[in-house]
Amino acid sequence: MANSDLVRLIEAIDRLAAGGFVMGADWQAVHDICQRHEGEQPFDWGHALCHRIEGDDWNADYWYRRAGKTRGTGTMADEWSAMRAVLSQKA
């Protein structure tokens, strides 16, 4: 896993969070980064968050399982805060 790509993922989700976790260009940027690293836990977790934002719980849960995580029950901001702490340690 390239640490620079993990940093890019964190930065991209930060932009998505700043925009209120809405579908659009920032969402697509996160999704694209995650797809390029399919099978790598941090990126699969990001992929799960993307599909949770999209409202596709079935697909989100698939990616959460692949990442070894469970879907958050709080707000997107709460989930991102917890994710960001973990991902930042890996970057």
> Average model confidence (pLDDT) for the chain?
95
Q: What span, in angstroms and rounded, lies between the C-alpha atoms of 90 and 75?
A: 23
Residues 61-70: what's their mean pLDDT? 97
Which of helix, strand or coil describes residue 5? helix
* 8 Å CB contact between 8 and 32: no
Residue 1 has pLDDT above 80, yes or no: no
Q: What is the pLDDT of residues 5-44, one digit of tens each?
A: 999 999 999 999 999 999 999 999 999 999 999 999 999 9
The verdict on pTM exceeding 0.85 is: yes
pLDDT at 15: 98
* 8 Å CB contact between 60 and 48: yes
Q: How confident is the model at residue 3 (pLDDT cuts 50, 70, 90)?
A: confident
Q: Which residues contact 45 (CB under 8 A, 6 or more apart)?
A: 63, 64, 67, 69, 83, 87
Residue 2 has pLDDT above 80, yes or no: no
Which of helix, strand or coil describes residue 30? helix
Q: Which contacts (CB < 8 Å, 24+ apart) does range 77-81 have?
A: 77/17, 77/21, 79/49, 79/52, 80/13, 80/17, 80/21, 80/49
